[in-house]
Amino acid sequence: MVGSDIRARFPIFEHSVYANSCSQGALSVDVRRAYEEYLAGWDAHGAEWEHWVERAESARAAFARLVGARSDEIAVTSSVSQAVSALVSALPLDGERNRIVISEFEFPTVGQIAHAQELRGAEVVHVEPEADGRIPLERFAAAIDERTALVCCTAVSYRTGYRLDVAEVARLARRHGALCLADSYQAAGAIPLDVSELGVDVLTAGTVKYLLASAGLAFMFVRGDLHERLLPTQTGWFADEDIFAMDISDYSPAHNARRFDAGTPPVPNIYAGLAGMGIVEEAGVSTIAAHVDGLVERLFAGLDELGATVATPRGEREHGPLVCVESTDVHALVEALRAERVLVSSRDRNVRIALHLYNVEEDVDRILAALASNRELLA
């Protein structure tokens, strides 16, 4: 179910064109009901810890299905920041293998956490993009060597919409014995992800964008054979082997990826996350991707007619649901579109137009008409 078949479940379309899924997925009646279910249970029963733990495990299983992993390879976290911090806390960075490679397209979370490890002896290397918004694989190859502990890459750039060849970056990392982390927040729910096909060691994402739920819930896939090797020093009671042992004199992390969980799970957000992911599963990510690809091609064609400068690369498998358009005054343009009930966002000098399963061709046409009426703000 995509397009007009599912649109009625998202009330915002009664009054606006919503094209900002790269920042926040539109609110569905399903997610609203999920929050109400959580509140009703809390009101009726007080602490429902057994049920809440079961809900967390349901989220773990749903995340695993999303990326083709086993449930025991998934950590449930409150954010990607929490997940990546736990991961790097398990890396010994005081020896010869102390290099962390990041691209310029990383979300601040990854870059800031990487540079924080300089306090532990890490060397951080940045991979620069070309002026056309692409990152040639040769630049990753030049940055990765036997000193590299971790290579971080972004499946889809939040700044330009560029879709990276993650599998090739993972191959380069593996050749030198480094781990590869793929931040897939701008892809999960809109582009099919399979950790086996990608060949990554670690993959992160969360529910606030194309997974159609709220902030406060994320996950991290960690390849099964790495669990015993990676011992995090950032932890919490839900990362313990026996959650309810309540032993303050011992550190016994779970034997699987749950060792990268932390403290009390974000229970309300798990209710919402399961509802949002349920919509994505119902539609099917491959179906969503095909639907969105058709909308994006229509958008590209209309932008060309307007003479707009598109920052997003257009090669095969080089873009996803996010299209970035250059502006002479991006904040003014975003507000002008908002005045016409077209909701988008901005990064750098680009207007970001993010399409998803609930968008239809008429939305694209309204976006193009709004841009045409503010042509003077296009670069």
- The span from the CA of 72 to the CA of 302, in Å, is 45
Reported as a pLDDT band with limits 50, 70 and 90, residue 313 is very high
Burial class (CB in 10 A: 0-12, 13-18, 19+), 26: buried
Looking at residues 274-293, what average pLDDT do you find? 97
Tell me the C-alpha to C-alpha distance, in Å, between residue 262 and each of 168, 223, 230, 288, 300: 31, 18, 15, 32, 43
Reported as a pLDDT band with limits 50, 70 and 90, residue 243 is confident
Say yes or no to pLDDT of 207 above 90: yes
Looking at residues 101-106, what average pLDDT do you find? 94
Average pLDDT, the chain: 95
Looking at residues 335-357, what average pLDDT do you find? 97
- The span from the CA of 95 to the CA of 121, in Å, is 8
Q: Which pLDDT belongs to residue 45?
A: 85
Say yes or no to pLDDT of 316 above 90: no
pTM of the model: 0.94
In sequence order, the β-bridge partners of residue 275 are: none
Looking at residues 36-57, what average pLDDT do you find? 88
Reported as a pLDDT band with limits 50, 70 and 90, residue 296 is very high
- The span from the CA of 185 to the CA of 191, in Å, is 10
Regarding predicted confidence, which is higher, 201 or 50? Answer: 201
Looking at residues 321-346, what average pLDDT do you find? 97
Q: Which pLDDT belongs to residue 158?
A: 95
Q: Which pLDDT belongs to residue 135?
A: 93
Regarding predicted confidence, which is higher, 327 or 50? Answer: 327
Q: Which pLDDT belongs to residue 115?
A: 97
Q: Which pLDDT belongs to residue 152?
A: 97
Looking at residues 231-242, what average pLDDT do you find? 91
Q: Which pLDDT belongs to residue 247?
A: 85
Q: Which pLDDT belongs to residue 4?
A: 85
Q: Which pLDDT belongs to residue 49?
A: 80
- The span from the CA of 331 to the CA of 7, in Å, is 28
Q: Which pLDDT belongs to residue 226?
A: 96
Domains of the chain: 3-27+285-377 (3.90.1150.10), 31-280 (3.40.640.10)
Q: What is the pLDDT of residues 269-279, one digit of tens each?
A: 999 999 999 99
Q: What is the pLDDT of residues 12-35, one digit of tens each?
A: 999 999 999 999 999 999 999 999
Reported as a pLDDT band with limits 50, 70 and 90, residue 244 is confident
Looking at residues 146-166, what average pLDDT do you find? 96
